[in-house]
Amino acid sequence: MLDGRVERHTKQLTDGDTAMSTITDPPAGSFRISMLLNDTRYRSYTFQAIALVGLIIAFVFLGGNLSRNLADAGLRISYSFLGSPSGYDINQTLIPYTSQSTHLSAAFVGILNTLLVAFLACIMATIFGVLAGVLRLSNNWLVSKLMAFYVEIFRNIPVLIWIIIIFTIMTQVMPGPREFRGDDATSSMVFDLFAFTNRGVYIPGPFFTNGFGEEGNGGLNWVLVLGVLVASFFGARAMNARADRAQEATGVRPNTTWTNLAIWLLPLVVLCFILGLQWDIPELKGFNFKGGIKMGGPLIALWFALSIYTGAFIAENVRAGIQAVSEGQTEAAAALGLRPRRITSLVVLPQALRVIIPPLISQFLNITKNSSLAIAVGYADVTATLGGITLNQTGRAIECVLLLMLFYLTISLLISMFMNLYNNSVKLKER
């Protein structure tokens, strides 16, 4: 003790040796300016505040310097060009668009195309990665080696090469529309519903006969469908939470399989019946297929290339997550009489997700950013529209690049946020 103001605390260590640690608290008293540097309670905050102020000053200086230099060069940042007609066509659009639409509309088309291929690639890459990661740990020698071959081949060759390879196969190997014509046609539609051609894949397209909008095809119909799916998600979640509480109280979990199936399907089926859901089947008319939904060759090439390439990395993440679970966990579960499938779903995967999800977030971000390689096969993503044709036509390089940076930054932050929320929801919680 020093004047009754200093306390010394000791802690017994349990690693086999006994040691002493001393924690000294600063004397209590009124706050003084000198404590910002001399007191350990405030010193770190002081340095952080100084660093933050310095960073703000640096950004303000650089921004002002850039603005002055642009003004001296006769360049002024303006986004008025977004309201001018674009003057170019886009081969695949998710919203109405013509060459007389504005550059802003062209940018939105590119954004939607980017989000579409990123969403599809994230789903398929996850499926490929999970299957390959689990099968690589199979006791079957042939299966494990085939998965190892897949991982090592696809992850060690640049994704751009895979994009070009798949696009070349589609355009050179797949049959043309004329090969589907006539009695002696060399190709035919799959189940009379799907047409695989060198121009793309044609699939049935849904439309509504009793919905909102012109001929029932207004966007409000799909908003209603999405709303029903969201409501079903929360309903199924509430049902599963209720089953969890019942299991904790009684030790027996109620069977919720059919209830969840009804929650998901019944509202959707009823809504589709009310809106008059119909399917537009592709048909060969003239020199090409008409009707349905066309998935162009560039979209398919980019989609599959990103999926199989990133799936190889996800497979390694899955393998690492499963191997991170101690074998004692599975042995204990087996000793309790659990079957292998239940061991995997109830013991291994919940613990493996803690290791799998953080690197999985990085892979989803890589898919989103690698989608900018779509320009290699002529897919009109946001890099091709806003960062390509629009930039060249208007000469607004700074504005277009800033918008591209803002888009990719926003999407990346949103993906990280939602995946981190999911990570927090599935992590193991101590009771």
pLDDT at 3 (0 to 100): 46
Spatial CA neighbour of 356 closest among 320, 329, 331: 320
> Rounded to whole angstroms, how far apart are CA atoms 242 and 223?
29
For residue 392, which of 106, 141, 74 has the smallest C-alpha distance?
A: 106
Check residue 248 and give its pLDDT: 81
CB 36 within 8 A of CB 43: yes
Looking at residue 5, its amino acid is: R
Query: Is residue 301 a contact partner of residue 198, using CB atoms and an 8 Å limit?
Result: no
Question: What would the DSSP string read from start to end of 97-153?
Answer: --TTSBHHHHHHHHHHHHHHHHHHHHHHHHHHHHHHHHHTT-S-HHHHHHHHHHHHH
Chain segment 75-112, per-residue pLDDT in tens: 777 788 888 888 888 888 888 888 888 888 999 999 99
Distance set, CA 105 to CA 83, 109, 138, 349, 402 (Å): 9, 6, 50, 44, 17
Taking the C-alpha atoms of residue 230 and residue 268, their distance in angstroms, rounded to an integer, is 11
Question: What is d(CA 428, CA 277) in angstroms, rounded to the nearest whole number?
Answer: 42
Confidence (pLDDT) at 316: 92
CA 386 to CA 400: how far, in whole Å?
6
DSSP 17: S
Q: What is the sign, positive or negative, of the torsion defined by CA atoms of 102, 301, 203, 206?
A: negative
200, β-bridge pairs: 197, 296
Please, are residues 197 and 174 in contact by the beta-carbon 8 Å criterion? yes
* Residue located via tokens 């999970």: 130
**pLDDT tens for each residue of 318-372:** 999 888 888 888 888 888 888 887 888 788 888 888 888 888 999 999 999 999 8
Looking at residue 128, what is its pLDDT? Answer: 93
pLDDT for res 213 = 64
Mean pLDDT by 10 residues, the chain (431 residues): 42 44 53 72 83 92 82 77 86 83 90 92 93 88 91 91 90 84 79 84 85 66 87 88 84 83 88 85 82 85 93 92 85 84 81 87 92 87 89 86 91 90 74 56
Q: How many CA atoms lie within 13 A of 195 on its CB side?
A: 30
pLDDT of residue 8: 44
Alpha-carbon distance of 324 to 334, in angstroms, equals 18
Q: What is the model's pLDDT at position 41? A: 75
Cα distances from 260 to residues 235, 236, 245, 255, in angstroms, run 8, 6, 16, 10
DSSP 150-216: HHHHHHTS-HHHHHHHHHHHHHHHSPPGGGG-STT-S---BTTTBEEETTEEEE-EEEESSSSSGGG
| CA-to-CA dists, residue 29 to 33, 35, 39, 368, angstroms | 13, 11, 12, 54
- Both tokens assigned to 179: 């090969």
> Nearest 5°: CA angle at 347, between 345 and 351?
100
The helix/strand/coil state of 287 is coil
